[in-house]
Amino acid sequence: MMTLQTSDFTPTLTTLSLGLAAIWAASIFATVVYRLFLDPLSKFPGPKLAAATSLYEGYYDVIKRGKYIHKIEELHQRYGPIIRINPHELHIYDSNFYDHVYNGKGKWEKSPEYTRSIDSGTSVFGTVDHDLHRLRRASLNPFFSKQKVTALQSVIQDLSGKLCTKLEACKGTDTAIDLESALGDFSMDVISEYCFDTKMGRVDRPGFSSDFRSIFRGLTELGHMAKLTPLVMMLFDSLPDNVVLFLNPRIKMLQEYDASCLALAKRLLRAESEGSWEDKGHPTVFREIIASADLPPSEKTPERLQAEAKVIINAGTVTTSWALTSALWHLTDNPDQLAKLRAEIRTVMSDPRHKPARLQQLEQLPYLTAVLNEALRISTGVTARSARIAPDRILMYDNWEIPRGTAVTLTAAHVHFDPAIFPNPKVFNPERWVGEAEARQRLERYLVVFSKGTRGCLGINLAWAELRIMLSNLVMRMDLVPFETTKDNIELYSDMVVPEPKNYQEPAQFLIR
């Protein structure tokens, strides 16, 4: 009698591997076929490879370092104003359509692919669901109103004065200042004082450190990879510290930054439970959030508050400091504009060291506003696309019917550099914002640095207060001279979530005179 061995029925490792590979290949093939021929988005123009796989976008953003923003513009020239740029997303190149996507009418959700590059969806900025976003945003809105920010101006003025004094100590020396980092320290101190009931004391530290740039550069370098797959962030979180340090020292700094934000969240919760809040003389945002009866306990966990803290610090620091750096470089490159700005500010601030102008006075200066509008336009704010999804309705663009639930984007930088709106868009020209009220209002419609709608920038009033106070104090108290800094250190070259110049490895440096 023949004896059957168990091994006769056991697939070999090779056979099993081939079987799994065949299943995987069939799955990939079926996915590609669906995306190219059966998906509702298959009718839209665009490269077939982009429709088939997100690796097309990944090549330009990860391998070629943030160049998809320029490739998209090139694709529009070939395929038209509406194209499919990845398997799940449509992009529209039409400045006049911006308000149709970024507005407060109806429900608007975010794409999960985009929130992966920010957090796990626990912050206001990263929240996907419309109703949950509205709940979270409502708890923050009152503290970023014009009235509340105006009441904070003494804090902003104090920190601005401290930074100016610190910079003046370098006057006449050969000390080259990384201005973006110095201004980032100022913004972080303002935010920590107002939002977290704590003083980070970055302006008070001796010297000028570039750790600000290193932390946020590490964050942006992960952004495009994290958008492709959630495994990226999970991988870095699971790796031993020495491995992370070897792969990218900036990631280690980012992990330490995450830990400090979590520690901050726990300290705030402890202060609430112990009743040990320090009286600041002004409301602090997180104190009110934690004490709010409108938010359930699930919205007040350490991890939720950590995510919110990171986003508020990141969003409130990077774009403001970069806009100021851009403004100052362009003003030093255009002495006539700088002289005109100083003459206007002098009408309300003759003694900047001892009697700085009040915010309400600065708000009335048209040329200061024009300079800042132009700086915000040309520095672009956040360069990353921010997809919007209408979950319950069909959108129409021209004769194109966009299915409900589709991620749709326009890029702020494309609007800001649209020559039909802003002639000679790469030229820094504040005069374009000076003139008849109707013409100014028309241009302001296309200044989308803070986005628009219910998901627009929460801190727009705080940002404007910082910009007005800091720029006016700097230009009235000192002369700044670029040091080994050219347009390659300033102008947009790559989309690394925020604008990255061509010479991104070297900061924009200035001498104080």
Q: What is the pLDDT of residue 3?
A: 54
Those residues whose C-beta lies under 8 Å from the C-beta of residue 235, and which sit 6 or more positions away, are: none
Q: Could you list the pLDDT tens digit for every one of the 513 residues in the chain?
A: 445 455 554 568 788 888 899 999 999 999 999 999 999 999 999 999 999 999 999 999 999 999 999 999 999 999 999 999 999 999 999 999 999 999 999 999 999 887 766 666 789 988 999 999 999 999 899 989 999 999 999 999 999 999 999 999 999 999 999 999 999 999 999 999 888 878 789 999 998 877 777 777 777 777 888 888 777 767 766 777 777 677 667 777 777 888 889 998 999 899 888 888 777 667 788 888 898 888 999 999 999 999 999 888 888 899 999 999 999 999 999 999 999 999 999 999 999 999 999 999 999 999 999 999 999 999 999 999 999 999 999 999 999 999 999 999 999 999 999 999 999 999 999 999 998 889 999 999 999 999 999 999 999 999 999 999 999 999 999 999 999 999 999 999 999 999 999 999 899 999 999
Binding-site annotation: residue ranges for heme: 457
Give the pair of three-digit tokens for residue 233.
């962030």
| Pair 153, 359: CB distance under 8 Å | yes
State the Cα–Cα distance between residues 113 and 372, nearest whole angstrom.
32
pLDDT at res. 284? 83
pTM for the model stands at 0.94
* DSSP result, 199-223: ---TTTSSS--SHHHHHHHHHHHHH
Taking CA atoms, 420 is separated from 76, 94, 97, 414, in Å, by 16, 10, 14, 11
Alpha helical stretches, state H, 296-365? 302-333, 335-346, 359-362
185: three-class secondary structure by DSSP: helix
Binding-site residue set: 457
Between CA 179 and CA 170 the distance in angstroms is: 13
pLDDT at 122: 86
Please give the Cα distance from 215 to 204 (Å, whole number): 19
Taking the C-alpha atoms of residue 379 and residue 32, their distance in angstroms, rounded to an integer, is 38
User: Considering only CA atoms, which of 214, 148, 149, 209 is closest in space to residue 183?
Assistant: 209
DSSP H or E segment with residue 155: helix 153-168
User: Which residues are CB-contacts of 64 (< 8 A; sequence separation ≥ 6)?
Assistant: none
Give the HSE-up count for residue 283: Cα atoms under 13 Å, Cβ half-sphere: 16
Q: Delineate the domains of the chain, giving CATH numbers in brackets.
A: 88-512 (1.10.630.10)
pLDDT at 1: 47
